[in-house]
Chain A
């Protein structure tokens, strides 16, 4: 049972435009959400996060939006740059589960010059 779902395995965007990556979750106990970025032959690195008490968190070109009623979050990258080309993983955590993270299957973003 996939509790965190990223239904788009890939996304292609023109440089300078907005990239929107989506993530859905099913477990209502999740109260903290994260995005990790992964380049080939490297481990994932933390990008941005959001607590369930907020609906938006912004860090430079990256913004994460959370819609708790829809159990949906999205990552916006604007403007997109070729260096943003990577696999993006959505992850969720529940306070009751300690440090455990549940990841999605990832979305491969390609930013075209």
Chain B
């Protein structure tokens, strides 16, 4: 099993540029999550999808951030325009949602974003 795949692993860009982060969840998983990790706030949930439909986007910081999941095997997180304060590690995670109380989330290796 390949696990959750994220690309790129590192991204350095200049303020104002568009950034697109990509995620391929584990095959068969039907929930996908985007997180951002910073020293001050730890791991914050930005948005999550269930069966490709956005369920909760209350963590998306502002309109510069958008996320899509066009099919069960691919999702993108886009920042346009990017700002230095967006610099962080962005994680994608997936899980197989069932009727049990909690379903373990499996994380990708993350994308380290630096906005200059």
Contacts of A98 on B, CB cut-off 8 Å? 50, 55-56
CB proximity to B under 8 Å, residues A1-52: 2, 6, 31-32, 34, 36, 41-46, 49, 51
Tell whether A100 pairs with B109 under 8 Å between CB atoms, given A43-B4, A43-B91, A105-B42.
no
For residue A97, give the distance in angstroms from its CB to the closest CB of chain B. 8
User: What's the dominant secondary structure at chain B's contact region?
Assistant: strand
Tell whether A51 pairs with B105 under 8 Å between CB atoms, given A43-B93, A89-B43, A100-B45.
no
For residue B66, give the distance in angstroms from its CB to the closest CB of chain A. 19
Q: Do A99 and B50 touch (CB < 8 A)?
A: yes
Q: Do B40 and A105 touch (CB < 8 A)?
A: yes
A interface residue numbers (CB < 8 A to B): 2, 6, 31-32, 34, 36, 41-46, 49, 51, 89, 91, 93, 95, 97-106
